[in-house]
Structure 1
Amino acid sequence: MDLRIAITDDLNSEREKLSSAIIAPFSKVGLNVGNIDEYTSGEELLRQFSAGRYDLIFLDIYMGGMSGVETAKRIRTLDKNVMLVFVTTSNEFASESYAVKANFYLLKPVRAESIRQLAETVAQQLKNTGCAAALPDGTVIPLSSLVYTSCSGHYVNVFLVGNEPLKIRTTHKIMEESLSKYEGVISCNKGMLVSLANVARIDGENFLMINGDTVPISRRKMTQIKNDYTRFVLNRIHSEFEKDQVTVK
């Protein structure tokens, strides 16, 4: 999974150290660190921030201008889900970090063991929220990025939105055991799994996926699979309607 990360600290040296320190530990738990955006202040971060832009934000508490705690409060009014990590030389703001639902607290100088624990916590929280899926080799991917899987010999190719396919040495059966527990991931043909969330439409006896690929539907299970897809779409529409109703209230 490519994590979208922001590091906010008014000291360039601290941003560089943290940026370098997180890559290897995160990779070990299947989290690939993608682009890391660096900000020198809370104000600068907030000018660029929008809901869903980042998966993880590191905030130094003691900064010139807006503090990390105040920045976190502003972020929480816009995004309830982004993970927040406070980085500081003191733990006196522990109660404030709880109030803004910070996910972790790092004390400077940041130790390698703390980064390792953070990486494990982030990976576990992503799995628990259903936002991420764990593949048989330990790789973690955003569930929303899964398009379909296809077995080829001793490998399974995992096709993702916006990324190159992953080639994993495993069997279709093991891959199915790993992914079928997630909502909307079904077996549609021999050696193939499909994410119904990323189906553009049904075209005859095939799923047309949002990446343009065509995935055949088993003739034997055609009626059942089409019914599953219809129910999935209707449930999504119902869920979105309920969210809109809550927003209106």
Structure 2
Amino acid sequence: MINIAICDDDNDMIQAIKTAISHYSTSHAIEFEVHSFKCGEKLLESKLNFDLVFLDIEMGGMDGLKTAQLFRQIDRRARIVYVTNHSEFALQSYAVHPFDFVVKPFEEVRISKVLDDLTRYLSENAEKDTVIQLKGEDGPLLLSLRNIYVFEYTGNRRITVYTKSEQYQIKGSLSDIFSLINSESFVSPHKSFIVNMEHIDKLNNFTLYTTNGIEVPVAQKKLKDFHNEFSRFIKNYIRQG
């Protein structure tokens, strides 16, 4: 199931995009779950996770660009497609790294092209969803790498692995972990921690916070390197998006 949001203050436009998605779903045998919102504030209040968001730039109240900036603080994974009456807004929209943009009025083939790109993107990234085997205390433990938020070394060759809502105890050292994960998404901001940068929410002085509320210290001597690594990661993420 692919989750899509449509955020537009024009109900006719919402219906037009829904119809195009429905036709694509039927012709390609792909299931979509579509949620619609009449303003940016409602989209932000939903706190739902989406694979794709069709976002009108010129809405009453909070406009689409401001909505996108705030939405990115909630969900970094969703692909944003800006929808606009004026092609010149497309250039402005790139400041918030879109997946694509659609100029009104549009034909269904334009939405089909967006959905083609989305399904291809999701398929390619699903293939990159590496599963690693760790040494659990009760035997081998298999975890999806992208679902891991934090590794914390607790001493005596014991590591706590944090996912969104679970914790696991494994054996080894953080150097063992780094040699195993082989991923540019992970960084060590402190000698006792490895963090998945995909799940960093914010940085406050010498503490970073993951999107599920885990607090991780950033060592003063590692602060500059951490900022450089995180900046590199964000730039690569924007370029891929």
- TM-score by length of structure 2 reads 0.54
Any conservation in 1 of the 2:20–2:112 contact (CA below 8 Å)? Answer: no
Q: Whole-Å Cα distance in 2 between the matches of residues 75 and 55 of structure 1?
A: 13
Determine the structure 1 residue equivalent to 2:24: 25
Determine the structure 2 residue equivalent to 1:98: 94
**Cα 1:182–1:40 shift into 2, 3 Å:** closer
**Cα 1:23–1:197 shift into 2, 3 Å:** farther
Any conservation in 2 of the 1:29–1:119 contact (CA below 8 Å)? Answer: no
Q: Whole-Å Cα distance in 1 between the matches of residues 29 and 65 of structure 2?
A: 29
User: In percent, how many aligned pairs have the same letter?
Assistant: 30
SS in 2 for 1:81: coil
Determine the structure 2 residue equivalent to 1:122: 118
Determine the structure 1 residue equivalent to 2:63: 67
1:74-103, Cα deviation, whole Å (9 max, x unpaired): 111222211101111111222332111110
Unaligned 5+ segments in structure 2 are 133-141, 145-175, 188-192, 201-207, 209-215, 219-241
Determine the structure 2 residue equivalent to 1:7: 6
1:186-231, Cα deviation, whole Å (9 max, x unpaired): xxxxxxxxxx548xxxxxxxxxxxxxxxxxxxxxxxxxxxxxxxx9
SS in 1 for 2:35: strand
Q: Whole-Å Cα distance in 2 between the matches of residues 8 and 63 of structure 1?
A: 9
Q: Whole-Å Cα distance in 2 between the matches of residues 83 and 54 of structure 1?
A: 8
Cα offset, 1:27, TM superposition: 5.4
Determine the structure 2 residue equivalent to 1:146: none
Q: Whole-Å Cα distance in 2 between the matches of residues 75 and 10 of structure 1?
A: 17
Any conservation in 2 of the 1:8–1:41 contact (CA below 8 Å)? Answer: yes
Aligned pairs for 1:1-249 within 5 A: 2-26=1-25, 28=27, 31-34=30-33, 36-50=34-48, 53-128=49-124, 130=125, 132-133=126-127, 183-184=130-131, 196-197=142-143, 242-243=194-195, 247=208, 248=216, 249=218
Runs of at least 4 residues of structure 1 off by over 6 A? Answer: none
- TM-score by length of structure 1 reads 0.53
* Matched residues, number: 154
Q: Whole-Å Cα distance in 1 between the matches of residues 79 and 121 of structure 2?
A: 9
Unaligned 5+ segments in structure 1 are 134-180, 186-195, 199-230
Q: CA RMSD in A?
A: 3.3
**Cα 1:96–1:115 shift into 2, 3 Å:** same
Any conservation in 2 of the 1:26–1:119 contact (CA below 8 Å)? Answer: no
Cα offset, 1:235, TM superposition: 5.1
SS in 2 for 1:73: helix
SS in 2 for 1:243: strand
**Cα 1:31–1:102 shift into 2, 3 Å:** farther
Q: Whole-Å Cα distance in 2 between the matches of residues 244 and 18 of structure 1?
A: 35
Any conservation in 1 of the 2:40–2:67 contact (CA below 8 Å)? Answer: yes
